[in-house]
Amino acid sequence: MTPPLLERRQQLLSPSYRLFYDEPLHLASGQGAWLTDVQGRRFLDAYNNVVPAGHCHPRIVAAIVAQTERLNTHTRYLHDTIVDYADALLATFPFPAQATFTCSGSEANDLAIRIARHVTGGEGLIITENAYHGVTSSTAEISPSLGKSVNLGAHVRTVRAPAAGTDFAAGVRSAIADLQRHGIRPALLVVDTIFSSDGIFSDPAGFLVPAVEAIREAGGLFLADEVQPGFGRTGTHMWGFERHGIAPDMVSMGKPMGNGYPVAGLVCQPDVIRNFGSSIRYFNTFGGNPVAMAAALATLSVIQDEHLMENAHTVGTYLRAKLARHPAILDVRGAGLFIGAELADEAIATRVVNEMRARGVLISSSGPAGNVLKIRPPLIFSHEQADILNDTTEAALDVALSDL
């Protein structure tokens, strides 16, 4: 007799793997904002930003299928789609730039670190206190949210996240001074432009400006990590950095880029990448392959043609206003369909997340204290789905609070 799936998984996969929820979800299929498990039960997906156009969007599936049937090679041959996609992608940027494609956001951020160190001659990296930027050696060293068993790099300094009342730029200046006091030249300030793992901080728009000025004055570069906020999720702009009116030296992107197909990238200002690129070649076997580019091009077209950014703004504004009415929610933050709802503590947040899963709605929690509900549905999310999410949040909160 075959043992149950969970037991086989634990036997065959690395113990580093973790599952969501007290009662893990065993999935079979997905369509739009809905996932279906192997028992046929449906779940409203309000968490997976990897599918901005919804699960199995027909136009994106068709693009992947057509290219998979035709050709899949790599960037050492000429191919039209990578150039067409770069063209479409860079047209969404408010400044001239050049693209490099990778498989994952980790690889994009890791490449940005290589470039920054090459360009500046420095080693020092500045991040936020509970940042997450990836799982390669170099990006794990700048990802304190992975927990204390993963060491930060010796050349890494952390800054308090920009909660209300925090002078973020002052924190950056003080990190720069500390690096310099240790004889370490600052190379890079890295910021997830909506502070996804720090608890979601979006306002007031513009607070990043003096921080970026400070790192540049010290000879370092600024990387906007758009892996989570990018591609229209914040509702008013394609990229989170645009809300702040800044032009980053480098911009990384990933998760939603191919609506699930593995594809990510790094966009650099030409002055930043010129010297690195002339002396150092970069070849990523799967990065920028024809199928990945077809998936990314179709995803970007759907985001634009179906006005998903505008939908994220409308439905996000509606949803935040509804959530803000519940007295147990202490603060509702975010932009568009990237929403953080702060609760009293981690125990309540964990209880709410699991109770919502039991009631058929999927979200998660975040922040250094684990007390912020993280709500990040597909950008096709409707007002009706926002109502379901809000009603289920309220019901789960009532259960969680009555337990205490």
**Shortest CA distance to 390 belongs to which of 310, 318, 337?**
318
Nearest-angstrom CA–CA distance, 274 and 292: 25
CB of 230 to a second copy, least distance (A): 14
Task: Name the residue nearer to a second copy (CB basis): 201 or 276.
Answer: 276
CB of 217 to a second copy, least distance (A): 25
CB of 14 to a second copy, least distance (A): 4
Residue 139, number of CB atoms within 10 A of its CB: 26
Task: Name the residue nearer to a second copy (CB basis): 57 or 333.
Answer: 57
Determine the length of the chain: 404
CB of 307 to a second copy, least distance (A): 24
Q: Tell me the CA distances in angstroms from 244 to 29, 199, 212, 385, one per residue in order.
A: 38, 18, 11, 30
CB of 20 to a second copy, least distance (A): 4
Task: Name the residue nearer to a second copy (CB basis): 113 or 361.
Answer: 113
Nearest-angstrom CA–CA distance, 260 and 48: 10
Amino acid of residue 351: R
End-to-end CA gap in the chain: 43
Nearest-angstrom CA–CA distance, 160 and 130: 8
CB of 119 to a second copy, least distance (A): 13
Task: Name the residue nearer to a second copy (CB basis): 9 or 182.
Answer: 9
How would DSSP label each residue in 280-333?
-----SSTT-HHHHHHHHHHHHHHHHTTHHHHHHHHHHHHHHHHTTSTT--EEE
Task: Name the residue nearer to a second copy (CB basis): 169 or 264.
Answer: 264
Task: Name the residue nearer to a second copy (CB basis): 33 or 82.
Answer: 82
